[in-house]
Structure 1
Amino acid sequence: MRIYMSLLFIAVSYISVAQQKITGTITNAQNKPLNGVEVFIEELQKGTSTNENGNYELTNLPNNTFHIAFNYLGYETQIKTITLKEAPIELNIVLQEAVFHMDEVIISTPFNRLQSENVMKVDKVTVQQLKNKGAATLIDGVNLIPGVSQVSTGTGIGKPVIRGLRGNRVLVYSQGIRLENQQFGDEHGLGVDDSSIESVEVIKGPASLLYGSDALGGVLYLNPVKFADDNTFNLYANQSYFSNTQGIGTSIGVKQSYNSWKFLANGAFNQHSDYKTPSDGNVTNSRYNEQIFNAAIGFNNKLISSTARFSFNHSNVGIPEEIGAQNSNTTPLLPYQDLTTKMVSLNTIFYLNNSKISTVFGYTTNDRKEFEEHEHEEDEHEDEDEHEDEFADPSLNLELNTFSYDAKWHLPKIGNFQSIVGVQGMHQTNTNYGEEILIPNATINDIGFLVTSTYDFKNNSSLQGGIRFDIRDLNTEEHLVQHDDEIHTFEALNNDYQNFSASLGYKTLLFKNITSRFNAATGFKAPNLAELTSNGVHHGSNRFEIGNPDLNSERNIQFDVALEYDSKHFELYANGFYNYIDDYIFINPTGEIEDGYDVYQYTQENAELYGGEFGFHLHPHPLDWLHLQSSFETVVGKQRNGDYLPLIPANKLVNTVRTEFNIKNWLNNGFATVTLESNFDQNNVSGFETASKGYNLLNIGAGATFVVSKVDLNLSLNLNNALDKTYVSHLSRLKSDGIPNIGRNFIASLKFKI
Structure 2
Amino acid sequence: MKTLTTLTIIILFPFCLLGQTIIKGKVTNKNNEALPGVNIFIEGTYEGTSSSVNGEFQFQTELTGSHQLAFQSVGFKKELHTVSLEGNEIVINTSLKEAIDQMKAVTITAGGMEASDVKKAVVLKPIDIVTTPSAIGDIVGAFQTLPGTSNVGNDGRLFVRGGDASETAIFIDGLKVNNAFGTTANNVPSRTRFSPNMFKGSFFSTGGYSAEYGQALSSALVLNSIDMPVRSQADISLMSLGGGVSQTLVGKRNSISANANFFDLGPYQNLINQNFDWERAPHSWDASILGRQQWGNSGMLKAFFQTESSGMEIWQAEPGELGRGDLIKINNNYNVGQLSFKQIKNEEWSFKGGLSYTLNNDQFDLGGLKVEQKTQLFHAKGVAIRDFSDAFSTKIGVETFWNKYDEALLDENQSRGFEDPQANAFVESDYYISNDLILRGGLRAGYSNLINEQWLDPRASLSYKFQHEGQISLAYGKFSQLAESKYRVVNNSIGNTEATHYILNYFIHKNSRTFRAEAFHKDYDNLLTFDGADMNLSSISLNGFGKASGFDVFYRDRKSIKNTDFWITYSFVDSKRKFAHYESEVQPSFAPKHNASLVVKHFVSSLNSQFGGSFSVNDGFAYTNPNFEGEQNQRTKSFQSLSLSWSYLPKPNLIIHFACNNVLGRENQFGFDYANQVNEQGIFASSPVGQAAPRFLFLGVFLTLSTDKNANQLNNL
Q: What TM-score results when the alignment is normalised by the length of structure 1? A: 0.67
Residues 141-184 of structure 1, C-alpha deviations (whole Å, 9 max, x = no match) = 3323332235554xxx6322111212432111235421223989
- Give yes or no for contact 2:256–2:292 (8 Å, CA) kept in 1: yes
CA shift, 1:438, in A, is 9.3
Matches within 5 A, 1:355-366: 355-366=349-360
CA shift, 1:444, in A, is 0.9
- Give yes or no for contact 2:277–2:314 (8 Å, CA) kept in 1: no
CA shift, 1:281, in A, is 4.6
Residues 43-100 of structure 1, C-alpha deviations (whole Å, 9 max, x = no match) = xxxxxxxxxxxxxxxxxxxxxxxxxxxxxxxxxxxxx979xxxxxxxxxxxxxxxxxx
Counterpart code for 1:410: I
Residues 357-393 of structure 1, C-alpha deviations (whole Å, 9 max, x = no match) = 212111221111112332xxxxxxxxxxxxxxxxxxx
Question: Is 1:456 aligned with 2:396?
Answer: no
**Equivalent residue, structure 1, for 2:236:** 237
CA shift, 1:697, in A, is 2.1
Residues 409-446 of structure 1, C-alpha deviations (whole Å, 9 max, x = no match) = 11243231011111011122223454268982211111
Residues 479-521 of structure 1, C-alpha deviations (whole Å, 9 max, x = no match) = xxxxxxxxxxxxxxxx222111121112222351422222111
Q: 1:718 to 1:109 in 2, by over 3 A?
A: closer
CA shift, 1:306, in A, is 0.7
**Equivalent residue, structure 1, for 2:496:** 553
- Give yes or no for contact 1:277–1:740 (8 Å, CA) kept in 2: no
Question: Is 1:193 aligned with 2:191?
Answer: no
**Equivalent residue, structure 2, for 1:740:** 690
Residue number among 157, 160, 170 corresponding to 1:159 in the alignment: 157
Q: 1:306 to 1:658 in 2, by over 3 A?
A: closer
CA shift, 1:320, in A, is 5.2
Matches within 5 A, 1:99-114: 114=118
Q: 1:399 to 1:145 in 2, by over 3 A?
A: same
Residues 658-685 of structure 1, C-alpha deviations (whole Å, 9 max, x = no match) = 422324xxx65x3223333222134487
**Equivalent residue, structure 1, for 2:613:** 674
Q: 1:552 to 1:443 in 2, by over 3 A?
A: closer
Question: Is 1:654 aligned with 2:604?
Answer: no
Matches within 5 A, 1:723-734: 723-729=664-670
CA shift, 1:110, in A, is 12
**Equivalent residue, structure 2, for 1:337:** 330
Residues 174-210 of structure 1, C-alpha deviations (whole Å, 9 max, x = no match) = 3542122398998584661326643543211254722
CA shift, 1:627, in A, is 4.6
Structure 2 distance, partners of 1:496, 1:183, is 30
Question: Is 1:431 aligned with 2:406?
Answer: yes
- Give yes or no for contact 1:227–1:263 (8 Å, CA) kept in 2: no
Residue number among 255, 280, 304 corresponding to 1:309 in the alignment: 304
Matches within 5 A, 1:173-188: 173-174=171-172, 176-181=174-179
CA shift, 1:344, in A, is 1.2
Question: Is 1:401 aligned with 2:340?
Answer: no
**Equivalent residue, structure 1, for 2:46:** none
Identity over aligned residues, as a percent?
12
Counterpart code for 1:263: I
Residues 198-235 of structure 1, C-alpha deviations (whole Å, 9 max, x = no match) = 3543211254722222x221112233356423xx3111
Q: 1:581 to 1:276 in 2, by over 3 A?
A: farther
**Equivalent residue, structure 2, for 1:605:** 544
Structure 1 distance, partners of 2:250, 2:109, is 22
**Equivalent residue, structure 1, for 2:255:** 262
**Equivalent residue, structure 2, for 1:133:** 133
Matches within 5 A, 1:258-337: 258-273=251-266, 281-285=275-279, 287-302=281-296, 304-319=299-314, 321-322=316-317, 334-337=327-330
| Larger Rg over CA atoms | 2
- Give yes or no for contact 1:208–1:522 (8 Å, CA) kept in 2: no
**Cα RMSD over matched residues?**
3.9
Q: 1:733 to 1:471 in 2, by over 3 A?
A: farther
Structure 2 distance, partners of 1:580, 1:453, is 25
Question: Is 1:614 aligned with 2:553?
Answer: yes
CA shift, 1:268, in A, is 1.0
Counterpart code for 1:287: A
Relative to structure 2, which stretch is displaced further, 144-153 or 406-415? 144-153
Q: 1:278 to 1:226 in 2, by over 3 A?
A: same
Question: Is 1:472 aligned with 2:448?
Answer: yes
- Give yes or no for contact 2:263–2:284 (8 Å, CA) kept in 1: yes
Counterpart code for 1:299: Q
- Give yes or no for contact 1:237–1:251 (8 Å, CA) kept in 2: yes
**Equivalent residue, structure 1, for 2:396:** 421
Question: Is 1:634 aligned with 2:580?
Answer: no
CA shift, 1:553, in A, is 1.6
Count matched residues: 566
- Give yes or no for contact 1:638–1:644 (8 Å, CA) kept in 2: yes
- Give yes or no for contact 1:672–1:702 (8 Å, CA) kept in 2: yes
Relative to structure 2, which stretch is displaced further, 303-312 or 687-696? 687-696
- Give yes or no for contact 2:108–2:438 (8 Å, CA) kept in 1: no
Counterpart code for 2:218: G
- Give yes or no for contact 1:505–1:517 (8 Å, CA) kept in 2: yes
Q: What TM-score results when the alignment is normalised by the length of structure 2? A: 0.70
Structure 2 distance, partners of 1:571, 1:731, is 39
- Give yes or no for contact 1:658–1:672 (8 Å, CA) kept in 2: yes
CA shift, 1:266, in A, is 0.6
- Give yes or no for contact 1:249–1:268 (8 Å, CA) kept in 2: yes
Counterpart code for 2:614: T
CA shift, 1:628, in A, is 5.0
Structure 2 distance, partners of 1:651, 1:364, is 36
Residues 591-629 of structure 1, C-alpha deviations (whole Å, 9 max, x = no match) = x678xxx998565322101123213334564x4234554
Structure 2 distance, partners of 1:579, 1:202, is 18
**Equivalent residue, structure 1, for 2:363:** 369
Question: Is 1:446 aligned with 2:422?
Answer: yes
- Give yes or no for contact 2:592–2:618 (8 Å, CA) kept in 1: no
Structure 1, unaligned stretches of length 5 or more?
1-79, 83-102, 242-247, 325-332, 375-393, 475-494, 535-547
- Give yes or no for contact 1:152–1:733 (8 Å, CA) kept in 2: no
Structure 2 distance, partners of 1:687, 1:209, is 37
Structure 2 distance, partners of 1:527, 1:265, is 36
- Give yes or no for contact 1:335–1:372 (8 Å, CA) kept in 2: yes
CA shift, 1:555, in A, is 1.6
SS in 2 for 1:648: coil
Q: 1:340 to 1:707 in 2, by over 3 A?
A: same
Q: 1:437 to 1:196 in 2, by over 3 A?
A: farther
Residue number among 133, 152, 166 corresponding to 1:168 in the alignment: 166
Relative to structure 2, which stretch is displaced further, 652-661 or 734-743? 734-743
- Give yes or no for contact 1:167–1:184 (8 Å, CA) kept in 2: no
CA shift, 1:133, in A, is 2.0
Structure 2, unaligned stretches of length 5 or more?
1-100, 320-325, 579-583, 625-629, 676-684, 706-717
Counterpart code for 1:673: G
Q: 1:449 to 1:694 in 2, by over 3 A?
A: same
Q: 1:552 to 1:278 in 2, by over 3 A?
A: same
**Equivalent residue, structure 2, for 1:68:** none
- Give yes or no for contact 1:280–1:323 (8 Å, CA) kept in 2: no
Q: 1:433 to 1:581 in 2, by over 3 A?
A: closer
Structure 2 distance, partners of 1:110, 1:748, is 30
SS in 2 for 1:530: helix
- Give yes or no for contact 1:196–1:294 (8 Å, CA) kept in 2: no
SS in 2 for 1:159: coil
Relative to structure 2, which stretch is displaced further, 171-180 or 342-351? 171-180
SS in 1 for 2:592: coil
Q: 1:320 to 1:496 in 2, by over 3 A?
A: farther
SS in 2 for 1:235: strand
